[in-house]
Chains A and B, each alone.
Chain A
Amino acid sequence: MTRMMTAIGALLIAGTAQAQDGDALLAMSWDEIVETARGGEVNIFMWGGADTINAYVSDYIGGILADEYDITLNRVPLADTAEAVNIVLGEVEAGAGMDDGAVDMIWINGENFRTMKQGDLVWCGYVDKLPNASLVDFENPAIANDFGVPVEGCEVPWSRVQFAFAHDTARTPEPPRSIPELLDWIEANPGRFTYPAPPDFTGAAFVRHVFTHAAGGADALVGPFDQEKFDAVAADTWEILNGIEPHLWREGVTYPTSITQLQQMFANQEVDLFFTYDPAEIGTAVENGIFPETAMSYGLSDGTLANTNYMAIPVNAANKAAALVTQNLLLSGEAQLEKAQPEIWGAAAVIEPSRASAEVQEGFATLERHPSVVPVEELGQAALPELTPDWTRAIEDGWIRNVGN
């Protein structure tokens, strides 16, 4: 209900905003764009489940926007990014004017991005305009492709994350450190492991780890969707997952429905292992007293999935100039460094520190990390590329039909 209210509120706000034509903006110089944006506002729709992230965007980014550009940042929290895609889709379908949409920016990646790109719902071709885009290595395939979908100037990278597991060193000193080890561990420790049921994002990512293992490694799954290959690998995957089911929490009769629920269960010692797509979260949970200080995140020897997340501007955004200024700010060396501070958020930077100012480089070099968070470099030694949305969708549907029913 509150979500609906905020969405409706944002719609009303947007209705009064001055419309901006995207093509006209692209013909302007950066200084002209900044002048156009001055005194305006920007409505950012983003997953709102972490206080640290919310504070970083509202206070730090919002503060700079207000002080330096006189731009008001409205952060609209979402439980699911698809909600924002729905709003844009509804507006475009309803044939509303192309430049008065309620959503100016969405924190996005993967399937939602593909949906927007395929539906021509996302604004493209402005990335060269952003001065700070020069800090990003767009040649890096991990940045140029969003879950296997070519970005092609339709979104701007923001952070990089890599999947990690977590255990309590006091309770489980020797956690399983690869998928095969985990499968054995589950059998040896009945009732002490479970994963959120897809379509939960993190639960689906866990299933993809098992799928990648069943395929014999990530290399076997590179490239476009292949039904024959999928059928073969999927059969093995469902066999593995149905095989461990009797040894899961509640004998696998039911699964947690969200990653938040699994976090609670790990905190309550109902299960012994936790996992997350954002290892910085483990440090935050320890700081907040949700997890004990002995909680520790770790990677797998056979690799964990890694992805980049982005900020996209809908094609019908009302405040495109302010959105561009915001995107440029998000990419600045200072903002990326602030975001990487463990007590702020602890999110891995998407820029090349070597291209930033000496001060920022120094900052990154001396960055402290929370003792419970596995170092980015250590995780990065075994990073698996994300599968394309065709694969992830087929795996999710297959899990629901064959395992989770």
Chain B
Amino acid sequence: MAGSATSAIEVIGRGHPWLSLAPALCVIAVLFGGGLVLGLAGSFGMGRGGAGVDAWIAVLSEGRVWRSLGLSLWIAFASTALACLIGLGAALLLRRRFPGQGLARLLFQINLTIPHAVGALGILWLLSQSGFVSRLSAGAGLIDGPAGFPALTQDRFAIGIIAHYVWKEVPFIGLILLANMQSLGDDPESAARSLGASPFAAMRLVLLPLLMPALIRAGAIVFAFSFGAWEVPVLLGQSAPVALPVLAWQRFTDPDLATRPEAMAIAMLIALVAALLIRVAMVRR
């Protein structure tokens, strides 16, 4: 490198990290931060003549909002826990060498490219009371008609929504863990085995703690998404309570303009709760 001409990018690259981060940070600050600030301003009724905490008081004192928050937390926690558990198990199985391993990995990852809305419609066709499994059961004489099939979509426990998120996020978690294990290599475990640890103990006491940071980060992404996404609960959710993002959207598209600040307050609440919970999970590590 010495003696050769240095490009502008290299100069910036060698400079202060903040300087090299500046372009990316600008995009985040303007697009993401700007939206957040406008949303926050909107929740206080700014740009609508007055400014006040009316919308926040209305939202926080409303039973429906709390029920929706409870539902969204249940969806996010259940989806994240199941996806992490199954994703971890799958990654542990897939890292071994076996014939057809490449094909197995491909099949495992294939649904990463499928959009959430498409997956949700698939769940609907598969699991709803007039869906494929229900018709199959009726055809086999297991149930009398569509109504005899258990309600797995638009159901009280959000089974359809959670099933979708688990199906969609298991490969995501698995992929991150597989990449993580590849960079860790076999050495830590081999060392433990050579010192007399059983295979299970080596995994539990050596590999799992090493994987934990990656698992928690991947889980945080899954949590934030399943907590704040709108399209899956709107397609698979029941009419009441609705997930918090669906409630925000309902308020936002209400013909009554007075509900706009409430919509913004609910949206801000989603961001706030997700950020807080993820922060707690990260710090406890």
Residues of A bordering B, CB below 8 Å: 80, 82-83, 85-86, 89, 93-94, 110-112, 114-115, 119, 191, 197, 199, 249-250, 253-257, 264-265, 268-270, 389, 393, 400, 404-405
**Contacts known (A254-B155, A269-B146); A80 close to B253, Cβ less than 8 A:** yes
Knowing that A199-B250, A269-B146 touch, tell me 9 more A-B residue pairs with CB under 8 angstroms: A82-B254, A89-B260, A115-B255, A254-B240, A255-B239, A256-B239, A269-B130, A389-B255, A400-B64
Q: How far is the CB of A251 from chain B (nearest CB, A)?
A: 10
Chain B 226-266 residues near chain A, CB threshold 8 A: 234, 237-240, 242, 250, 252-257, 260
Residues of chain A contacted by B79 (CB below 8 angstroms): none
Shortest CB-to-CB span from A119 to chain B, Å, is 6
Q: Does B72 contact A (CB under 8 A)?
A: no
**CB-CB under 8 A for A250 and B130, given A82-B254, A257-B237, A400-B240:** no
Chain A residues, Cβ within 8 Å of B242: 257
Q: Which residues of B contact A265 (CB under 8 A)?
A: 130
Bitwise, B154-170 to A at CB < 8 A (1) or not (0) is 11100000000000000
- Of B156, B252, B255, which contacts A253 at CB under 8 A? B156
The answer to whether the Cβ of B129 comes within 8 Å of any Cβ in the partner chain is yes
B204 at the interface (CB under 8 A from A): no
In the complex, which residues of chain A have a beta carbon less than 8 angstroms from the beta carbon of B256? 111, 115, 393
From B47, B64, B255, A112 is in contact (CB under 8 Å) with: B255
B95 within 8 A of A: no
> Does B255 lie within 8 Å of A254, measured CB to CB?
no
Q: Which 3 A-B pairs have the closest CB atoms?
A: A268-B130, A111-B255, A254-B238
A138–B174 Cα distance when bound, in Å, is: 65
A400 vs B237: C-alpha distance when bound (angstroms): 16
Q: Which of A82, A191, A269, A389 has the most B CB atoms < 10 Å from its CB?
A: A82
Known: A85-B255, A393-B256. A254 touches B154 (CB 8 A): yes
Give complex CA distance A255, B252 in Å: 21
Interface residues of B (CB under 8 A from A): 47-48, 64, 129-130, 146-147, 151, 154-156, 234, 237-240, 242, 250, 252-257, 260
Determine how close the nearest CB of chain B comes to the CB of A114; give it in whole angstroms: 7
Contact partners of B146 in chain A: CB under 8 A: 268-270
Report how far A385 CA is from B108 CA in the complex, Å: 57
Check B255–A93 contact: CB distance below 8 A: no
CB distance from B181 to the nearest CB of A (A): 34
Chain B residue numbers with a CB within 8 Å of A254 are: 151, 154-156, 238-240
- Are B239 and A257 touching (Cβ within 8 A)? yes
Cα of A111 to Cα of B250 in the assembled complex, Å = 15
Least distance between A282 CB and chain B CB atoms (Å): 19
**A82-B255, A253-B156 given; A404·B239 CB < 8 A:** yes
Closest CB-CB distance, A3 to chain B, in whole Å? 11
CB of A240, distance to nearest CB on chain B (Å)? 18
7 contacts between A and B (CB under 8 A): A86-B253, A89-B260, A112-B255, A114-B255, A254-B155, A255-B239, A265-B130
In the complex formed, the residue of B with least CB distance to A108 is: B255
Q: Which residues of B contact A268 (CB under 8 A)?
A: 130, 146
Q: Which residues of B contact A83 (CB under 8 A)?
A: 253
Does A93 contact B239, Cβ atoms closer than 8 Å? no
By beta carbon, the residue of chain A nearest B242 is: A257
Minimum CB–CB distance for B127 against chain A, Å: 14
Verify B47–A197 contact, CB threshold 8 A. Answer: no
Shortest C-beta distance, B14 to chain A (Å), equals 38
The 8 Å CB contact of B257, one of A115, A250, A404, A405, is A115
Interface centre among B147, B156, B252 (most CB of A within 10 A): B147
Query: Which chain B positions have C-beta within 8 A of A119?
Result: 257
When A199-B250, A257-B237 are in contact, do A93 and B47 touch as well, CB less than 8 Å?
Answer: yes
Contact A110 B255 (CB under 8 A): yes
Cβ 8 A contact of A404, one of B151, B240, B252, B253:
B240
Residues of A within 8 A of B238 (CB): 253-255, 257
**Given A199-B254, A265-B130, A270-B130, A405 and B240 contact (CB-CB distance below 8 Å):** yes
Docked pose: A80 CA to B156 CA in angstroms:
26
- List B contacts of A94 (CB < 8 A): 47
In whole angstroms, how far apart are the Cα atoms of A110 and B147 in the complex? Answer: 36
Least distance between A346 CB and chain B CB atoms (Å) = 27
Q: Are B239 and A197 in contact (CB under 8 A)?
A: yes
Q: Which residues of A contact B147 (CB under 8 A)?
A: 191, 249, 270
Q: Assess whether B257 is in contact with A197, with CB atoms less than 8 Å apart.
A: no
Tell me the bound Cα distance from A111 to B257 in angstroms.
10
Closest chain B CB from A193 CB (angstroms): 12
Assess whether A86 is in contact with B252, with CB atoms less than 8 Å apart.
yes
Alpha-carbon distance A250/B128, docked complex (angstroms): 12
A244 to chain B, nearest CB (A): 16
Chain B residues lying within 8 Å of A389, measured Cβ to Cβ, are 255
Q: Is the CB of A93 within 8 A of B240?
A: no
* Alpha-carbon separation in the docked complex, A222 to B5 (Å): 84
Chain A residue at minimum C-beta to C-beta distance from B131: A268
| Nearest CB of A to B262, in Å | 13
Say whether A89 contacts B257, CB under 8 Å. Answer: yes
Contact: B151 with A250, CB < 8 Å?
A: yes
A310 to B250, CA, bound (A): 23
Contact assessment for B253 and A82 in the assembled complex, using a CB-CB cutoff below 8 Å: yes
**Bound-state Cα–Cα, A89 to B255, Å:** 11
A112 to B256, CA, bound (A): 8
User: B240–A197 contact, CB under 8 A?
Assistant: yes
Alpha-carbon separation in the docked complex, A191 to B235 (Å): 21
Q: Taking the nearest CB of chain A, how far is it from the CB of B144, in angstroms? A: 11
Q: Which residues of A contact B47 (CB under 8 A)?
A: 93-94
Interface centre among B156, B237, B253 (most CB of A within 10 A): B253
Question: Distance in Å from the Cβ of A288 to the closest Cβ of chain B?
Answer: 18
In whole angstroms, what is the CA distance A114 to B257 when docked? 11
Determine the chain A residues whose CB is within 8 A of the CB of B257 once the complex forms. 89, 115, 119
**Which residues in B have their C-beta under 8 angstroms from that of A112?**
255
In the bound complex, CA of A115 to CA of B242 (Å): 25
Chain A residue, CB-CB nearest to B156: A253
A199 to B253, CA, bound (A): 10
Q: Within the complex, what minimum Cβ distance (angstroms) separates B131 from chain A?
A: 9
> Which chain B residue lies CB-closest to A115?
B255
Shortest Cβ distance from B252 into A: residue: A86
> A270 and B253: CB pair below 8 A?
no
Give the distance in Å from the alpha carbon of A57 to the alpha carbon of B242 in the complex.
Answer: 34
